[in-house]
Amino acid sequence: MKAKILIPLLAVIVLLAACKGKRGSEEFASSADTTVSTSRAFDTARLETKLVKTADMRFKVKDVQQTSEKITALTTGYKGMVMHHQVESSGMRSVDIKKSEDSIIRVTSFSTTADITVKIPSEKLEEFMNEVAHMGVVLNVRRMDISDKSLEYMAARLKLKNRNDLISQQKAGKVVIKNPANVLALKDDMVDQQIGNKQIDDEVKNSIVSLSFYQSNTIYKETIANDDPSDYNLPFFKRLGGSIENGWSIFENVVLGLANLWVFVIAGIVVWMVIRHYRNKRPIVVRSNHA
């Protein structure tokens, strides 16, 4: 009796184990298919070489202005573009030399520098830098850097492909994205990746070169008007005549001032005469000394 019950039970257990193993095999196969498809995506994506070149130079020239014009013309000749151009002159020291009573000679020492940033086709970079180096009398720094953005470019392309597939599945109804903001953010990311790859393509095609150059200090002399009022004086005899006139004016003012005080002068004279008269009439007492 027991054997009759155990045999069907064992058959059910074996059947369940077989179904479970089949399901596990199906899940493993599905996971393997996903991995294989991802690997195939990486394999089919061609790794493009994306090398970005940048360079900079610092050098001394005879004339900053002339060199700036030559570099601008050279950039145009290489079908490049001037991205930044700045020429600056700053005064170092200044001395004023008196030339006459109303003019001075100002001598100033100037330091002149220039900064230019240009975009040059990458295949012409070395040739361009060689020609620029010949314009200088002293080369202080010449540097070129190369950065490889191949993997960054490939990663952006694969991410963009994945997002395109997701958008296609969402349009076909295979994938439902409930929040519209997520769809908008996904499309914005796709735009950013496209713009990023366009920027890398432009950086690979055109190299950025930063140029900094200077010249020896220059001396500039100019005659300008004397702006110190204390230096503007009349000749000696004119000043002497003016002093005499001023002295006479002061004398006249004193006389006129005394004339305005005539009442007080007369009153003082009267008082002085009265006091003198009183003193003359007063008897003089003579004291005698007795032994």
Q: Is the pLDDT of residue 275 over 50?
A: yes
CA distance linking residue 265 with residue 261, whole number of Å: 6
pLDDT band at 277 (very low <50, low <70, confident <90, very high): confident
Q: 64-73, 100-109, 112-121, 165-174: which range is least confident on average? A: 165-174
Of residues 175 and 270, more confidence is placed in: 270
Name 67's Cβ contacts closer than 8 Å, sequence gap at least 6. Answer: 61, 114, 135, 136, 213
Whether residue 217 is contained in a domain is answered as yes
Whether residue 70 is contained in a domain is answered as yes
CA distance linking residue 120 with residue 207, whole number of Å: 5
* Helix (H) / strand (E) containing 146: strand 138-148
Whether residue 112 is contained in a domain is answered as yes
CA distance linking residue 37 with residue 61, whole number of Å: 61
Whether residue 101 is contained in a domain is answered as yes
Instruction: Provide the domain count of the chain.
Output: 1
- Rounded to 5 degrees, φ, ψ at 47 are -80, 105
Place of tokens 């257990």: 13
Whether residue 162 is contained in a domain is answered as no
User: What are 22's two structure tokens?
Assistant: 């089949």
Whether residue 116 is contained in a domain is answered as yes
To 10 degrees, the CA torsion angle through 219, 224, 229, 235? 110
Name 262's Cβ contacts closer than 8 Å, sequence gap at least 6. Answer: none
Query: DSSP letters of 185-197?
Result: HHHHHHHHHHHHH
Place of tokens 């007492």: 285
Predicted TM-score (pTM) of the model is 0.59
Whether residue 90 is contained in a domain is answered as yes
Region 63-90 average pLDDT: 94
Whether residue 289 is contained in a domain is answered as no
Which residues form the domain of 210? 53-149+206-225
